[in-house]
């Protein structure tokens, strides 16, 4: 299929997890993909997977905390591909700590990656999408909708991404830009972020009424819909893919 034929996607955090799965799915559906990440070694595996599909990709080093690097990343993508049509903000970290134990340095580090990085992706994405239109996809979490006692900064950042998405969507619409801005809220997904301890994975699976944990491709498939023209009437919305977690 070619649901993204002719489109160019720039994805942060694309070297692993949901970012990597989304990059591969986008390429399978015809997109050319700019892989942005701090980890060029792990990105190599994603590049190989995309090339195996016959897709075209470009790796761009990007520390999402640095606005100048965002500017350079978009410039590199446009220089190589000509345009950018889709921006997916996937880069993220999860540092444990409740409101009493978390040090400010950890709090600031987490928000710098998860929230500030998303802000920069939206801000500079607008500059490149506002003439042609396009889609911006922000990765939030179920913990941007409900709390977790031991991940104060993660919850704060992901909750902020949820409403930042809505603000950006309203700004785009009222400015006459044909830019859709939406957020995805995954449940617990089998990625490097949650580790591979079988006892912990079994415990997490039981938190989801569907009875199992999601995989990165489950989120990538939702991102594919939001990147495609199939989602032309969706903006400012939150898409929960969580095996029933929030329904409880």
Measured on CA atoms in the order 5, 8, 9, 14, is the torsion positive or negative?
positive
| Tokens encoding 16 | 């692993």
CATH 3.40.50.2020 at 8-241, yes or no: no
pLDDT at 48: 97
Q: Where are the domains of the chain?
A: 8-241
The length of the chain is 248
User: CA-to-CA distance for 30 and 197, rounded, in angstroms?
Assistant: 36
- For the stretch 198-222, pLDDT in tens is 899 999 999 999 999 999 999 999 9
User: CA-to-CA distance for 189 and 194, rounded, in angstroms?
Assistant: 8
User: CA-to-CA distance for 142 and 157, rounded, in angstroms?
Assistant: 12
Of 63-72, 137-146, 155-164, 196-205, the range with the lowest mean pLDDT is: 196-205
pLDDT at 1: 67
pLDDT at 69: 98
User: CA-to-CA distance for 4 and 18, rounded, in angstroms?
Assistant: 18
pLDDT at 129: 98
Q: How confident is the model at residue 197 (pLDDT cuts 50, 70, 90)?
A: confident
Active site residues: 154
Between the alpha carbon of residue 196 and those of residues 17, 45, 116, 199, 201, the distances in Å are 13, 19, 28, 9, 7
For the whole model, what pTM was predicted? 0.96
């Amino acid at each position: 299929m070619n649901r993204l034929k002719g489109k160019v996607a720039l994805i942060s955090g694309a070297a692993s997890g949901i970012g990597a799965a989304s990059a591969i799915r986008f390429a399978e559906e015809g997109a050319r993909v700019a892989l942005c990440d701090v980890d060029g070694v792990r990105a190599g595996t994603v590049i190989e997977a995309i090339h195996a599909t016959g897709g075209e990709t470009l790796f761009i080093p990007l520390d999402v905390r640095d606005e100048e690097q965002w500017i350079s990343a978009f410039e590199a993508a446009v220089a190589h591909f000509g345009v950018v049509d889709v921006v997916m903000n996937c880069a993220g970290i999860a540092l444990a700590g409740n409101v009493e134990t978390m040090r400010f340095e950890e709090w600031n580090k987490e928000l710098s990656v998860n929230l500030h990085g998303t802000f920069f992706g939206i801000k500079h994405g607008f500059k490149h999408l506002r003439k042609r239109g396009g889609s911006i996809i922000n990765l939030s979490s179920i913990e941007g909708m409900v709390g977790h006692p031991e991940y104060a900064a993660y919850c704060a950042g992901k909750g902020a991404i949820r409403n930042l998405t809505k603000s950006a969507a309203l700004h785009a619409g009222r400015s006459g830009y044909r830019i859709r801005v939406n957020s995805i809220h995954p449940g617990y997904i089998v990625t490097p972020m949650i580790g591979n301890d079988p006892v912990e994975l079994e415990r997490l699976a039981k938190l989801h009424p569907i009875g199992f944990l999601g995989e990165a491709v489950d989120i990538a498939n939702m991102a594919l819909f939001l990147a495609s023209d199939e989602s032309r009437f969706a903006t400012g919305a939150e898409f929960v893919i969580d095996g029933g977690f929030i329904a409880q």
